[in-house]
Structure formats: C-alpha cells, structure tokens
Structure 1
Amino acid sequence: MGTSAGRGGPGTSAAPPPRPGPDGAGAARPTSRDVARAAGVSQATVSLVLGDKWAGRVSERTADAVRAAARELGYRPNLAARSLRLGRTRTALLVVPSVTAEFFAGVYTGAARAAGDRGFGVVLYPSPGGTGPARDPFDPARASIDGVIASSMAAGALAAVRGGGLPLVMLDSGPGDPAAAATVNFDAGDGLRQAARHLLGLGHRRLAHLAADVDSWTFRERARALAEEARGVPGAGVRTERTALSVDAGRRAAERALTGPGPDPRPTALVCDDDVLAAGACKAARRLGLRVPQDVSVTGVGDLALATAVEPELTTVRLPAEAVGAAGMRALMAVLDGGAADDTTLPVRLVTRGSTGPPGG
C-alpha cells in the first residue's frame, strides 16, 4: 500500500484502452482494477482511498493519484455491491415534526448535502404526532436504513422508528440524551438572551413573551434565558402568553398581551419564540392601531424568509438550520464508521432590523 503512485512512473502500466461492451459497441464501465493499473497501486489501495479509509494507511500522494486516475477514467464505485458487503443500505432516516416548515427544509438540505458527499441517501419522514410518538415507516426499519437523525423531537418518541438498535443522532433536542449516540444543538437559550439584552439596552422594561405551547427542551431554555436576563435589570419584567405556532395564533396571543385586563401597563416589546408568531404580533399591533416599533417592538426566532417580507423587517435570531443538519449527518457517519461523535453546540446570532426601537420612540 506504500507503492509509489506517480502516473507514468516506474512499474506503472498505462491505462487500458476502452473495452467493448456486451453488444460490441461502446466502452464498458471502468473497474477498480483499471484504476489500480492506471495509478500503479493495488486494488486494495484503490478500495481504501475511494472508501475514504486511507488516512494513516496510504500516503497522501498515493491517495491523490488514485483519485486522479478514477476521475480520468470516469470510475464510479459500485455502491450497491459495497452495501451488500458491509450489510448497509447507505440510507439515513431524518425524522422531523413537519415537512412544510422552512426551518426543517433547511435541516434536510444540510443533511442531504453532507450525506451526498459520502454516497448516502436521506429519507425524510414527518412524525404525524409532532414531537411524538412517531410510527415506524418501514417493516422492519433495520432492513431499510442504517441510522436515524431526529430534529426537534423527544428521544422517547422514536422507539418504533429506531427499530430497537439503530444509531440515533438528536438535533435541537437537548444535550446528553442517553438514547442518542450524539447530539447537535443550537445554543437555545442564547437566542432569547441576545434578544432580551437588545431590548433592555434600548430601554424596554415591560416585555411580553409569546411562548410556543410546545413542551420541549428548546422552548424551555428560551423561556429560562429570557426570564433570567429580565431579572438582572431593575424594573424589568416578563409577562408570558402561551400560543400555538401559527400566524393567527400569534396574533391572538399578541392581542391578549397588548389589551389584557389588570393594572399592569401595556408591554412595550413582544418577544416571540418563532418568526411566524412575530408576524402575527405585527398584525395584532396594526389592528390595534399601534405602530411597530414606535409603540411596540417585536422580535422573532428563525430568520425565515418572512422576516424580510414583513414591514418593518423583523429583528430575529438567526438559526443555522443547514449547518445543524450537516453536523448531524457527519456525526451519524462517524458512528457508522465505528467511531465516536462528540456532542456539538452551534452558535446563534441576533439580526437587528426595523421592528425594534426605543420605547415610545
């Protein structure tokens, strides 16, 4: 495997001419033997390099020569044969609560791109029950997939899908889950922490939290971080309005927050758990004759397409959905290769736009 791999060097055979196909016309598909002959190495070395298992066993020069020979010959590995040898289907299952939400489309895009780099496919499966339990789309699951990635789900909801032993990587579901081989999370609390600091820095003291009525680690972390930031500023407080995740539900929750009975003055800022809730909050403000941000500031989470479709444009927390999908797929690949994957936390960032300003500005 340490064979010198320079093209045309000593002991290197020239690439074989195209061979006739079965019908006598055209060239047959090149084989790993053809690549080995062109690069001056063994077929085992070709297998190591093209299977991405060469590090520490083959020199970088040899690996480059094998890849160059494969490109020149138009060689493509027989993934079906390799899968049979390894007992794998080269398919991962991505479970999400919804296939229509823009965020989960981003997660899928990142996961599929990382999978494609390794010759894997991704099956996207929405859990009919949202956070669970998810029904098994395969019979049995182990015969159809190699591993599972689940985004924004509870591990207990995935028992049927996992087939009782498939490796599982959890995304945006909380750290240190014992059921998961690895977890990939956003810094869930930091998004609303940044939003709260921004609003408090502008002078807001009466905040209303339009909190998603979903019992998940992510939303609990957001509520905790928001309350913690407000407690640190004299005179600041947070009122919570729970709501379903839709524009209309967000509008109704915002109307309750802005017109609710009681002695407390109207909040000057609405902190929303999602951009769709923030869009509903802006709608409520307009219906009540309030201006955004002069009378009430609004923040969201997600930085979805609608964040720049509303007027004024939305101050929101950007979540790198594609990055979390790609990191989850790379973690699953590491586990399938027999290694260990570290738990990962990805940073988030507040994007300030026109929907926030000083109170009474």
Structure 2
Amino acid sequence: MAHAAGVSQATVSLVLGGKWRGRVSERTAQAVRDAAARLGYRPNLAARSLRLGVTRTAMLVVPALTHEYFARVYTGAARVAAENGFGVVLYPSPAGIGPARDPFGSARTAIDGVIASSMAADALTGIGDGGLPLVMLDSDPDTPGGPPTVNLAVTDGIRQVVRHLLALGHRRIAHIAADVDTWTFRARTQAVTAELAAAGAPAAVRHRSALGVDAAREAAVRALTAPGPRPTALLCDDDILAAGACKGARTLGLSVPADVSVTGFDDLSLARALDPELTTVRLPAEGIGEHGMRALLAVLAGRPAPAVELPLTLVPRGSSAPPAA
C-alpha cells in the first residue's frame, strides 16, 4: 500500500490509524486512502483487538434462543451496540436455566462485558476469568454490591392485571404461576398477593407450572376442578402459560371468557394468535436490550450506570370479561 501511494509505511500507519493530522498533509492522507480503496484494504480487527486489549464485543446471556421475548431483547442490544461500534454475541444457557461451560475457553480474552438475564444467571458461574463487566436484566435491583440492573416494572404490570380483573367483577382468581425461582417471577407472585389484599379481595389460589403449554394446561385443569367454587379468572405469569390455561379450560368444556377469563403477561405474537385474543401486559423487550447495552457501555467507560425500570402497559382483549352471573 505504501508503494501504491508513494509514501512510507510509517505514513500509511499514521493515516489508517487516524493519527495523521498535524503530521501528514491532507493530500498525502487522501492518497493513502485512495490506495487503500483500490487495493481493497480492510483492517485486521483481531490484530487491532489484541494490540488494544479490547474486543468491542459484548455477550448477551439468555435462557433460550427460541423465545420471542429474548430474540427482541437481542435486537435492541445489537442496535445500540452497532451504533457504538460494538458487536453482540448471543449465548443461551444450556437446558434453558442452569450452569453453562465457558463458550470461549476464556471469556475475558474474547469479550469486553456481559449482559445477562436473571433467568440464565447460573450460566455466569461457568464463564471463566470472572470479573468481567456485567449488567443484569430482570434482576433484584436491591442486591447489595450487585451489578447495574435494567428491569421491567413487573410489580406495576401485575397490579394492572389484578385491577382489571377486579374492575370486571372477578373475586375468585386463580394464579397460574411459573415454577421458576427468579426475581421476576417472585415479584409477580408478591404483587398478586399484595394487590388482592389491598383491595380486600380473597387471596388467589396458586398453582405452579413449568414454562410450557402442556404443563400450564394441566395446572389450569387442577385450578378449575379443585374443591370449592370454581375460579372465574386465571391470571397467568406469561403468555405461554395463558395459552396452556385456555387449552385447559376447553378440555373441561368451558368457554373463554364466558365461563372463565384468562390473562397473560408479555404480549408475544402468540397473544394475537389465540381465539379470543389474549388480555396481557406489553413488555418493551427491545427497550430492555437497548438500555442493557447502554448500561454496559457506561460501565466499560467508567461512568455510572443507575438502575433502570421500564414501564409496562396492560392490553385488554377478548379473553377477559365480567364473570357469568
């Protein structure tokens, strides 16, 4: 390239490294750039990363690649990363939730920082060379000395669902709760309990379910056939559980919402595919990814990264209605 531009190798290095101003004329710098274009030069990013000690790569750790919510989180994170010259590696925790081996052998040599969902937090224990800059999503913001957090306003979202059902006249509410011990689902359980108590309504009977349609169908059947008056509403921790609950109601010959109302949480594409369409809570999934990446960039730059909580919106649809007389 130096030969093509008629300059020294040192001059080429200065121009391509962006350090030429005040040391090389504009005409010479343009000659080097023209030569680079003619020769199809591309910088060796691996060599540059080795020299600078940074990779400009973040890793997003999620429990699963197949869930629409986490795909949208990745989209938001990747957008902000690209705007700042970063890339994002997406890494799912094997088996959904649990420990994982270091995907790089030594993560510190391959990435600059990590954004992790609390549902895949155990995977972090398997990533070598601990101490990487970390931002947690959907994680307890009150953990002493914990990393920066970016959360959804889960408690307020559940409050909106409970108030919606109470306003429709429901008093016998069953809670189809995700059988996952993470902050985001504990917060939902606590919010259901607290909101019903504050309204003077009977406590919700809780039925635990794995995160799957079949498991939720079985949980809904248990809720709807338990001794005592039948629930008039099934409040579900997410849309997948709600889809299973709708199947469970139909298994028993019940109509949604004429015989039992069903609500979800997430507003996945699935919510509009169900018939009737699902009353649910819309989550700004891409916003979570965007804020998570911005927080990580702040940490990498040595700036404060205050906790973030994003508001949620109730979306009433056809799966909820006043209880039958």
| TM class by smaller structure | 0.7 to 0.9
Worse-matched range after superposition: 140-149 or 158-167? 158-167
Listed as ranges, the matches of 1:270-281 within 5 Å are 270-281=234-245
Query: 1:166 is aligned with what amino acid?
Result: L
More deviation, 280-289/302-311:
280-289
Aligned to 1:305: 269
Query: What is residue 151 of structure 2 aligned with on the other side?
Result: 185
**Partner of residue 203, structure 2:** 237
Give, as a single letter, the amino acid of the residue that structure 2 aligns with 1:285.
A
Q: Classify the secondary structure of the residue corresponding to 1:301.
A: coil
Q: Following superposition of structure 1 onto structure 2, how do residues 25-104 of structure 1 map, counting pairs within 5 Å?
A: 33=15, 78=43, 80=45, 83-104=49-70
Deviation at 1:131, TM superposition (A): 3.5
Q: Distance in 1 between matches of 2:143 and 2:115?
A: 13
Partner residue in 2 for 1:294: 258
Amino acid at match of 1:352: P
Structure 1 residues 293 and 119, CA gap change in structure 2 (3 angstroms): same
Who is 2:285 aligned against? 321
State the one-letter code of the partner of 2:147: A
Task: Give the C-alpha shift of residue 176 in structure 1.
Answer: 3.5
* Post-superposition offset of 1:232: 2.1
- Give the 3 Å change call, closer, same or farther, for CA 174–154 of structure 1 in structure 2: farther
1:74-125 residue CA offsets vs partner (Å, 9 max, x unmatched): 9x99582653443101111111111111111111111111111111111111
- 1:123 aligns to 2:76 (yes or no): no
TM-score normalized by the length of structure 1:
0.77
- 1:248-283 per-residue CA deviation (whole Å, 9 max, x = no partner) reads 1111111110011x2x20000000001011011111
Range that drifts further, 134-143 or 98-107 = 134-143
Any idea what SS the aligned residue of 2:74 has? helix
| 1:343 aligned partner | 307
Q: Distance in 2 between matches of 1:178 and 1:43?
A: 51
- Cα distance in 2, alignment partners of residues 280 and 114 from structure 1: 35
Q: 1:215 aligns with which of 169, 175, 181?
A: 181
Are the aligned partners of 2:100 and 2:122 in contact in 1 as well (CA < 8 Å)? no
Give the Å deviation of 1:181: 3.3
Correspondent of 1:194 among 128, 149, 160 = 160
Cα 1:78–1:85, aligned 2, differ >3 Å: closer, same or farther?
Answer: same
2:243 alignment partner, SS class = helix
Structure 1, 351-360 or 338-347: larger mean CA deviation: 338-347
Closer, same or farther in 2 for the Cα pair 1:129/1:286, shift >3 Å?
closer
Q: Which has the higher contact order (CA 8 A, sep 6+)?
A: 2
Correspondent of 2:214 among 244, 248, 253: 248
Q: Which residue of structure 2 aligns with residue 57 of structure 1?
A: none
Contact 1:302–1:319 (Cα < 8 Å) also in 2 = yes
Deviation at 1:298, TM superposition (A): 0.5
Q: Are 1:160 and 2:119 counterparts? A: no
Shift of 1:33: 4.2
The aligned residue for residue 27 of structure 2 is none
Decide whether the 8 Å contact of 1:154 with 1:173 is kept in 2: no
For 2:246 and 2:49, the matched residues in 1 are separated by: 52
Unpaired segments ≥5 residues, structure 1: 1-18, 25-29, 45-69
Structure 2 Cα separation of the partners of residues 340 and 196 of structure 1 = 36
Q: How many residue pairs are counted as aligned between the two chains?
A: 307
CA distance in 2, matches of 1:173, 1:292: 34
- Match of 2:257, SS state, is coil
Contact 1:162/1:168 (<8 A) preserved: no
1:8 aligned partner:
none
Structure 1 distance, partners of 2:264, 2:246, is 11
Residues 147, 162 of structure 1: 8 Å contact kept: no
1:114 aligns with 2:80: yes
AA in 1 matched with 2:279: T
* CA RMSD in angstroms, aligned pairs only: 3.0
Q: 1:36 to 1:146 in 2, by over 3 A?
A: closer
CA contact 1:177–1:183 (8 Å) conserved in 2:
no
CA contact (8 A) 2:261 2:320 kept: yes
